Amino acid sequence: MTKATLCGQCRRRDVWRAALIIFLAISRAWYWRYVTPVFTVDVDADISKDTSKDAWMCIGWRQAKECNNFITSIINISVPILSDASCDTPIPKYAAGNCELETPNGTKVYAIHKSCQYNHHPKAKLLTCHMAYAFSRYREQARAYREEPQNNPKKRTGHAADQNQNYRGIVMSVHDDVLVSAYAVIQIIRHHNCTLPIELWSKPGELSNTKLLQELQKDKGIRHRHIQDYSITGFMSKPYSLYYSAFDQVMLLDADTIPIRDPTYLFDTPQFGNNGAIFFPDYWSPHNTVFHITKHSLLWELLGITFVDEFEMESGQLLVDKTKSKDALDMLMFLARTYHLWIGPLWLAWGDKDLFRFAWRMTNTNFHYIQQPPSTAGFTTNNVNVCGVTLLQHDPGGDPIFLHRNTVKLKDHSSLERVWTKQQTFVGENALEQYIIRPSPVQGRKIKCYHPTKWSSQWFQVKDLTGSDIEALEEALLIWAKNALRISEL
């Protein structure tokens, strides 16, 4: 055998060795990434072991054997971590089964039911069966909860309707980063001849832009109110401000949600009058979700409600008659106050947006859900025809009413740009199956645009906004935002 032949064999052997090493490295990384715990178990004191006399005793994790084929059919070996486990063992991401517990009278009960199809959010914290009893009690605690009013004014300060004498108004949660946008939006609202009073809610220290706030308060219909409850943080200021608003009938708006015309008429629609609430859908549904809210989510067991095949909710705008929604509002406050215990750490939902929908469903309280999915307003890029950076929401009759500019924020001079040049609207017949939106990055910018896939684009209709009322609305919005920045810099 020649030296060249031996060298060739050595090279082939080295290639096979390298390939084997790479394969083993990738397999090990995959195994640790998708099967074993990636995050440490962040056990809050409120959701760990319950040592009261009525607590159920934890026996352990019971693995659903039929789901082991996910691993064993590939490598043909038994995987111990996908088997029954102790109560202290973190439940692996792709494990399916449930926690077995025993009540004080000896009855076996099961909790934290993970199906074979359960899709664990990659950022979610892991559970142990020691948490199962507290997990099971959450829905009972929710149903028993009643919010204790804190400094809720008895004086009526809202806009009285002619007939029923309910008091109406707009509620907006604000802080420094959104105050310029809020100022511009409020000027647009008043330009539409909308006379509804407005409450601006913030926590102490969140508004240092006193010049702009003082300018807003020159409008006698605007009142600044403080959130004195220091347990309320982030998105949860919206449920709080809704609950403690002085109004009976509330239109809750984000500071970057712009009405296309005077939205007061929504209070007088039969959909609001008959149900006491109007909610608006988001881009996402159980068949197309970035938040993992599917029928297999642990969310439904946690909340104690049946899965409903419907769009997720977008809370940039909503209407609530508080006189018809007391139980739902108490439930909403419970979900907001306990978000940090389960829903947040397990990534079962994002922020406040779906808490409204959950609270109303948990209490069997009526609401009208807008059936037309949101359109998108945006601009053309090299990759997509309409790069959606704004949700365009519709009223109960299907007409456009709100533009939620939630991607390109009005914060500083660099953000004062026109982005509403085109509109894309769903015109299909089966929204849950045909309405598929995907996010993609915008080259050279730190934003994402939202657009249909190539398959779903056949059910969307594109409209040029040149010369439209929406184009004129954006021009006015930018002028008012520029004026807000000028006032802030004085």
State which residues form the domain around 465: 375-478
pTM of the model: 0.86
Q: Are residues 185 and 323 in the same domain?
A: yes
pLDDT of residue 41: 34
Q: Are residues 240 and 350 in the same domain?
A: yes
Within a domain: residue 206?
Answer: yes
CATH number at residue 176: 3.90.550.10
pLDDT of residue 353: 95
Within a domain: residue 199?
Answer: yes
Q: Are residues 115 and 222 in the same domain?
A: no
CA distance 64 to 339: 29
Contact status, residue 374 vs residue 393, Cβ threshold 8 Å: yes
> Which string of DSSP letters, residue by residue, matches 311-323?
PPEEEEEEEEEGG
- Boundary of a domain, candidates 333, 350, 369: 369
Q: Are residues 239 and 364 in the same domain?
A: yes
Q: Residue 98: which residues within 8 A CB-CB, separation 6 or more? A: 61, 62, 64, 110, 111, 112, 113, 114
pLDDT of residue 189: 98
Q: Which long-range contacts (CB under 8 A, 24 or more apart) does 306-311 make?
A: 308/361, 309/285, 309/432, 310/281, 310/285, 310/286, 310/369, 310/432, 311/281, 311/282, 311/284, 311/285, 311/369, 311/373, 311/431, 311/432
Query: Beta strand 198-202 with 222-226: parallel, antiparallel or unpaired?
Result: parallel
Q: Are residues 283 and 353 in the same domain?
A: yes
pLDDT of residue 60: 95
The SS3 call for residue 27 is helix
Within a domain: residue 485?
Answer: no
Q: Where are the alpha helices (DSSP H) in 338-435?
A: 355-362, 431-434
Q: Are residues 338 and 457 in the same domain?
A: no
CA distance 431 to 427: 9
CA distance 449 to 438: 8
Contact status, residue 252 vs residue 320, Cβ threshold 8 Å: yes
Within a domain: residue 219?
Answer: yes
Q: Are residues 330 and 386 in the same domain?
A: no
Q: Are residues 364 and 380 in the same domain?
A: no
| Tens-binned pLDDT, residue by residue, of the chain (490 aa) | 555 554 555 666 666 666 665 655 555 444 434 443 333 333 333 444 454 556 789 999 999 877 655 444 444 444 444 688 999 999 887 788 999 999 999 999 999 999 888 877 888 888 999 999 999 999 999 999 999 887 554 445 556 654 444 599 999 999 999 999 999 999 999 999 999 999 999 998 899 988 999 999 999 999 999 998 988 888 899 999 999 999 999 999 999 999 999 999 999 999 999 999 999 999 999 999 988 899 999 999 999 999 999 999 999 999 999 999 999 999 999 999 999 999 999 999 999 999 999 999 999 999 999 999 999 999 999 889 999 999 999 999 999 999 999 999 898 898 899 999 999 999 999 999 999 999 999 888 888 999 999 999 999 999 999 999 999 999 999 999 999 999 999 8
Within a domain: residue 131?
Answer: yes
Among 358, 334, 415, 412, which Cα is nearest to 137's?
Answer: 334
pLDDT of residue 481: 97
Residue 332 has, within 13 A of its CA and on its CB side, a CA count of 27
Within a domain: residue 149?
Answer: no
- Boundary of a domain, candidates 369, 403, 428: 369
CA distance 263 to 188: 11
DSSP 236: G
Q: Are residues 73 and 90 in the same domain?
A: yes
CA distance 420 to 417: 9
Task: Give the number of domains in the chain.
Answer: 3
Q: Are residues 123 and 248 in the same domain?
A: no
Contact status, residue 110 vs residue 100, Cβ threshold 8 Å: yes
Q: Are residues 111 and 169 in the same domain?
A: no
Within a domain: residue 30?
Answer: no
Within a domain: residue 22?
Answer: no
Q: Are residues 72 and 108 in the same domain?
A: yes
